[in-house]
Every structure is written in structure tokens, then in C-alpha cells.
């Protein structure tokens, strides 16, 4: 959300070694398919292949703190990387995590304009 809210800029890196020195321009976006979900408008990366993982540098503290479940999507894991090692510090959310606190609506749902059932 930071780029959309106040113009924060991020850098992207390919998470695998690449001998390709060519720089191609990619737009990095999230999964919401909305203008405000653009993370990087023009990222310089080598040629990408399906399944490649891209790291967005120095965004973790802000993204985790500003996370939401917009469109009812689970949040990703948070991974700390230091000295060539990675550590999961927050587990990935599951759909079960998202709906764990939800309860069924107590009354039958009716269509717009439909009269409510009269009770005694």
C-alpha cells in the first residue's frame, strides 16, 4: 500500500543467480488487479521465466504493518534473510485462519425488495 498512499519506491531483485546482464523493464504488481496495487512501475531485471521468485527489498516492516485481508486473501509469510540464511518469522496465513472468527448470519438472507418474514 505504501506506493499508492505516499509514493514509496521499492527495488526488485531476482531471487536466483542469473548470468544475464541485460536489463528488461517489468511492472511489478500485486494480485488485486487495481491501479493502487502497483509496487514498482519499472523494475530493471534480467529476463524472467515462469516460476521465478522476485524479492522486493526493504519493504517488509511497512508491508507487514500495513497488511490487510482485502478481497479476503491470506497474507504471505514473512521471511528474514541475513548472512546467506533465511528464517520464517511469521507463518503464511491460510483461508482457515481468515474465516476462523466468522460466524453464520443469524437470519435468512432475502433479496432486495423482498418482504421480511413476519414473526409471531
CB 56 within 8 A of CB 10: yes
Task: Spell out the alpha helix ranges (H) of the chain.
Answer: 2-6, 60-65, 95-99
Kindly give, in sequence order, each residue whose CB lies less than 8 Å from that of residue 2, ignoring residues fewer than 6 positions away: 8, 59, 62, 63, 66
CA distances 75 to 25, 32, 60, Å, are: 27, 13, 12
- Catalytic pick from 33, 100, 109, 117? 33
Set of cell numbers at residue 41: 512501475
33 has catalytic annotation: yes
The catalytic residue positions are 33
Amino acid at each position: 500500500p505504501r506506493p499508492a498512499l505516499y509514493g514509496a519506491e521499492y527495488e526488485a531483485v531476482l531471487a536466483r543467480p542469473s548470468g544475464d546482464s541485460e536489463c528488461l523493464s517489468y511492472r511489478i504488481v500485486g494480485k488485486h488487479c487495481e491501479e493502487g496495487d502497483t509496487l514498482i512501475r519499472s523494475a530493471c531485471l534480467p529476463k524472467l521465466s515462469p516460476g521465478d521468485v522476485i524479492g522486493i527489498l526493504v519493504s517488509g516492516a511497512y508491508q507487514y504493518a500495513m497488511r490487510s485481508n482485502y478481497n479476503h486473501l491470506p497474507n504471505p509469510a514473512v521471511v528474514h534473510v541475513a548472512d546467506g540464511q533465511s528464517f520464517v518469522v511469521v507463518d503464511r496465513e491460510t483461508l482457515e485462519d481468515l474465516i476462523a472468527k466468522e460466524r453464520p448470519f443469524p437470519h435468512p438472507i432475502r433479496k432486495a425488495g423482498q418482504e421480511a418474514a413476519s414473526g409471531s
